[in-house]
Amino acid sequence: MSSNTSSPTDLPDDHFHEECAVFGIYGHPEAANLTYLGLYALQHRGQEGTGIASLENGKLLLRKSPKLVSEFYTEDLLNDLKGNIAIGHNRYATAGGDPEKDLQPLTAFYSKGPIALVHNGNLTNAIELKREMENEGALFTTEVDSEVLVHLIARSTGMTMVEQMGAALSSVKGSYSFIVLLENSMLGVRDPLGLRPLSIGKIGDAYVLASETCAFDLIGAEFIRDVDPGEMVVINEKGMESHKLFVRKDAPCIFEIVYFARPDSQVFGYPVYLSRKRLGGRLAKDSAVEADLVIPVPDSGLAAALGYSEASGIPVDMGLIRNHYVGRTFIEPQQSIRHFGVKIKLNAVPSILKNKRIVVVDDSIVRGTTSRKIVSMLRAAGASEVHMRIASAPIISPCFYGIDTPTRTELIGATHSLEEIRRYVKADSLAYLSVDAMQEEIERAKDQNNSRKGFCTACFTGCYPIPFSKEERIQHGLFEG
């Protein structure tokens, strides 16, 4: 009898995947321990590998593994990561590459001393830059785009790190939140559009950088502010300095708020949980339907379902239960089990659903396969009607700014009409939010003192804020004609 060991990421999945989380701390005697805790809080952003680099007396110390944070780090391992400066990374592995070799932090030694780097995002011209440098004799040890920046920094003729970083980053395109560890300082920088998040906190006299504020909550750090788009902060023994490397343009990724960030986080100045509740409330107003019960798809649809329930007056209940203890690997049955891929994560509750008209709320539909199986599962559990409500717009384009997405032809929103999608998922009705409605509700959720100028909505509109060259469009499958 043969068995097949699979990862949950191999299962049919109707969600995008973030590629990583970054965390850094400067000036704390337990830097590595706090980095471990920060990465633990940010595990949702990447489950395919983790790493921490610390610095003691000019010596870089590095530990990384293709395991979960809780599986890899031990007390003895963390005790080996000495020093009062540390940075860490959680990775979601995209297709290709070596799952161990490509883990971050990336480390090197160059003319100015040791350097370690972690990156959240995607450099869209990395292949072109890498090819140019390889033709000039450069050697690359990984397949991650972040290594391009290490080479650019090392090649820079700038006299100061600010000049070196400015020159290096002026050559790259795409999205980035970088944390860089140097011999006597830690740097945090965001791209001019601010596509990926990076927040600043303090714990005592130590400064902390993290992808999301939930990491600050776990370690008891105070949130100070976000790193601005186009800004680099330099943290050293003198404190923190701000350097405006580029003119900010403000186009943060709206999907961070819709799906990626933990509900208890604040990203880009927006409270995530409240934003998602408002999206659900808007759904109820824009696409009302007579029903007996609102059911969230856990956990991503929970806040939106509560908002839908409050706005519609229809009670909400947990008609789908999530198995929170799904491991990274499990043995699939040799014989087919109906809806196995979904049932390993979700199961319906017949006592709640029987003879009920159901509104099932989720944050998005990507391929449609999981939504179809969920609707079938709800009907099998006794639901008399199943109405799907999606707290975002149809996804019609892939992302090239740090999110692992299918090609355009795999996105059901790009290839099917609303009615065709409804028929495919076998729902009695289906409704999405409009892009305008999404932006309006999220803006209403934020602190009124925090002004913004819009979002990157490329996955919903196909309008990319960073222009692609002809070569890049061909590379990404966007070239037409």
- Indicate the annotated binding residues: 253, 300, 362-363, 399, 456, 459
List the binding residues for [4Fe-4S] cluster: 253, 399, 456, 459
Which position among 20, 53, 152, 198 bears the catalytic label?
Answer: 20
In 66-190, DSSP assigns E strands to 85-91, 106-110, 113-123, 174-182, 186-190
C-alpha span between 382 and 349 (Å, rounded): 9
At a CB cut-off of 8 Å and minimum separation 6, what does 66 contact?
48, 49, 93, 99, 100, 103
Give kind and range of the element (H or E) at residue 282: helix 272-286
CB 26 within 8 A of CB 85: yes
CB 303 within 8 A of CB 281: no
At a CB cut-off of 8 Å and minimum separation 6, what does 351 contact?
none
CB 198 within 8 A of CB 253: no
N residues, the chain: 481
Is 20 part of the annotated catalytic residue set? yes
CA-to-CA dists, residue 413 to 396, 404, 417, 455, 462, angstroms: 5, 17, 7, 20, 12
Residue 44: phi and psi, rounded to 5, are: -60, -20
Residue 356 DSSP SS3: coil
- DSSP codes of every residue in 389-440: EESSPPP-S---SSEE---GGG-HHHHS-HHHHHHHHT-SEEEE--HHHHHH
For the CA atoms of the chain, what is the radius of gyration? 23
List the binding residues for Mg(2+): 300, 362-363
Query: What is the DSSP code (8-state) at residue 97?
Result: S
Residue 379 DSSP SS3: helix
Exposure string of 111-146, with b = 16+ CB inside 10 Å and e = fewer, is eeebbbbbbbbbbbbbebbbeebeeeebeeeeebbb
In 168-272, DSSP assigns E strands to 174-182, 186-190, 199-203, 206-210, 222-226, 231-236, 239-244, 266-267, 270-271
Cite the active site residues.
Answer: 20
